[in-house]
Structure formats: structure tokens, C-alpha cells
Amino acid sequence: MKPEPATEVPQAPLAISEPIADYLDYLRLERARSENTLRAYGVDLRLMTEFLVGQARVQRLSDVTVQMLRDWLAIQHEAQISRTTIARRISSVKNFFAWALKHQVVARDPALRLVAPKKEQRLPHVLQTGQIDRLLSEPASETTKSEPANGEPAKTLSKAEIVAEQKRIALAARDRVIAELLYASGLRISELVSLDIADIDFERRTVRVVGKGNKERVVPFGKPAERVINHWLRNHRKVLAHAETGGALLVGARGGRLNVRQAREVIAQALKSLGDTSASGPHALRHTVATHLLDGGADLRAVQEFLGHSSLATTQLYTHVSVDRLRQSYRQAHPRA
């Protein structure tokens, strides 16, 4: 029995697709939104368009009603899409129609009365100090396999084996920079891979970061991070880099700038190797350094600037984490808890 053909989504009419394209250009050129933000808005508006054209049979944006948009959101609720994702899609749609109204693409805003569900308040996972120490400890993979062990003579490696071994050690040194600098400076993974060598000020031990909204900030890092960065730059970056690498601080196995997916995988594997944490991505290190700073008495405003949060409310989430940890310790240690 042949499977039924997939239902094709009708192509969006120009009266809908062109304003959406203009809006995304506006976000890119005038609002300097990041590629990740543009991608998310593009997906949200594409899904909305597929529903409006395919099911609501809409041909113009001026025909869209609030009930149509609510019907689209109801389908996502039924599909058990998370509240966080639905809230983001509502925000995307509301922002788009507000722009469309301002630029006279529509005469009224059908999304004005849409209400986003409350986001799920999940406390971020925080690594303990001992786990951080293990994560950032020097791995055995930094040593060469050709070194003699137990007095045995060193194995003679071929030229190809020597090159492969140098590359393996270089990648291990680079991976240490990724983990150490993420924890030292609380960077977002996208900010980390965008760094150039010129962004590092070794004299002041600071890094210049261009974050969300194209906002620039200067973030400090400590001596351990300084050591691993210097070790990488002096001894190992040249093994992976080539003439077209440019000034990228972190380099991929093929010599290009390391990308977000590759860096994320490095941290995911490192966290998995700990064996005693459910943390699974680089944002866990950002959560951890923020919480550790607040636990150590850092000012909330200073942590906000350190992380590059536009809103203090976002930073305040970490105070909840600290209080939660304090409450847990109190219950475990206090005799009358």
C-alpha cells in the first residue's frame, strides 16, 4: 500500500511574503538583530503564513483576524509545543504586525489582543565547585602518545602519525580554552566563537565582546584562563590555522573559524564525561558563573553588566538559584530545619 502524499502548503502570495521579507530586512539592517534571532523570527512567521494561506485561505495581511491567529496558536497547544516556544512565536507575530501597522501595510493590528502564556520558570542547572574543577582540569590527552612509558623505548611515528598527533593535542588545547573562557567570562557560545585574537587584552586580562543587539562590553577573565589562552596561541593554534583563517581566536579542525555547533558539542561532551550532572550545554557554564559570583557577594548590577543582560529581571533569576541552594543546604545542615 502506497503512503498518501504529503499535503502541499500553497505558496504564499506576494501580498504576504514581501512584507515579511521587508520586516526581516528591517530587523537585520536597522535593528542589527543577530542571525539566531533572525532565524527564529523567520521560522515563526513562516509557520504563521503556512497556516493563514493553507487553512485560513488568506491572500492579504489585511484579511488576517485575531481569531485566525488564535486558531493557529490553538493547534500548537494541541501539538504540545512548549509554552516558552509559543510565547516566542506570539512575540514574533505581535512585533511583525506592529511594524506592519506603523508602515501602513495593514490598517489595523490583528495581533494586538493576543496574550502570551506565562513562560515556564525553570531554574538553570548550576555546577558545583568540585565539578567545575574537574571540568577545567588539564586532560591527559594534552600529552603526546609517543612519550615512553615504564622505561620502554618511544615508538617511532610516521610523518602522517606525527601530524595527526599534533592536531589531536592542538584540538585538546583549544577545547580547554572553550571551557575555561566560558566559565571565566560567562560568555554566550555565539559570543565566544566570534572572538578575534585582537579582542583579548592580556595586560588587563579582559576580552571585548559584541553581544546581542550589537552591544559591546568588556569582560574580565582570570589567570587560569590567561594561561590556557596563551598556551593555545603560542603552541597549538598554528597547527590548525592556515592562510585564510584570519584573526579568529578559536579555530576548527579544518582551519576555519570554529562555529557554534562545534563549540556546543565540545562542551556537551565535556559535561557528559563528568558523569554526575544533568547539565548538557554551554549555557550551564554561564548559569554557573553567574550563580557563583552572586554566592560570592558580587553586586547584582555588576553581574548584569558582566553577562550583558539588557534587563535586570533576567539577572535576578540567578538570585533565585542562590536562595534555592541556600535553602537546600539549610535543610540538610540545620538541626531544627
Q: What CATH number does residue 255 fall under? A: 1.10.443.10
Do the domain assignments include residue 5?
A: no
The answer, yes or no, to whether residue 217 has pLDDT greater than 80, is: yes
Domain that holds residue 179: 129-145+157-333
Residue 247 has pLDDT above 70, yes or no: yes
Q: What is the pLDDT of residue 223?
A: 93
pLDDT band at 91 (very low <50, low <70, confident <90, very high): very high
Strands of 216-220's sheet in order across: 200-201, 206-210, 216-220
Number of domains in the chain: 2
Phi-psi region at 32: left, alpha or beta (left = phi > 0; alpha = psi -120 to 50): left
Helix, strand, coil proportions of the chain in percent (round to 5)?
60, 5, 35
| Residue where the block lists cell 550532572 | 277
Of the residues 33, 176, 188, 236, only one is catalytic, namely 188
Q: Would you give the DSSP letter of residue 32?
A: -
In a domain, 119, yes or no: no
The helix/strand/coil state of 201 is strand
By the 8 A CB rule, do 113 and 66 touch?
Answer: yes
57: domain CATH number is 1.10.150
Residue 23 annotated in active site: no
With bands split at pLDDT 50, 70 and 90, how would you rate the model's confidence at 1? very low
188 among known catalytic residues: yes
Residue 148 has pLDDT above 70, yes or no: no
Cβ count near 289 (within 10 Å): 23
318 as an active site residue: the answer is: yes
- The answer to whether residues 83 and 169 belong to one domain is no
For residues 138 and 218, state if they share a domain.
yes
Would residue 91 count as lying in a domain? Answer: yes
User: How many Å apart are CA 299 and CA 38, to the nearest integer?
Assistant: 33
Same-domain check for residues 138 and 68: no
Q: Is 212 tagged catalytic?
A: yes
* Residues 91 and 178 grouped into a single domain: no
Instruction: Catalytic residue, from 174, 286, 287, 292: name it.
Output: 286
pLDDT-derived band at 213 (thresholds 50, 70, 90) equals confident
Instruction: Confirm if 297 and 147 have CB atoms less than 8 A apart.
Output: no
pLDDT at 154 over 70: no
Q: What confidence score (pLDDT) does residue 281 get?
A: 85
User: Which of these is catalytic: 46, 168, 283, 325?
Assistant: 283
How distant, in Å, are the alpha carbons of 7, 10, 54, 77 from that of 3? 12, 21, 21, 27
Catalytic status, residue 89: no
Is 286 a known active-site residue? yes
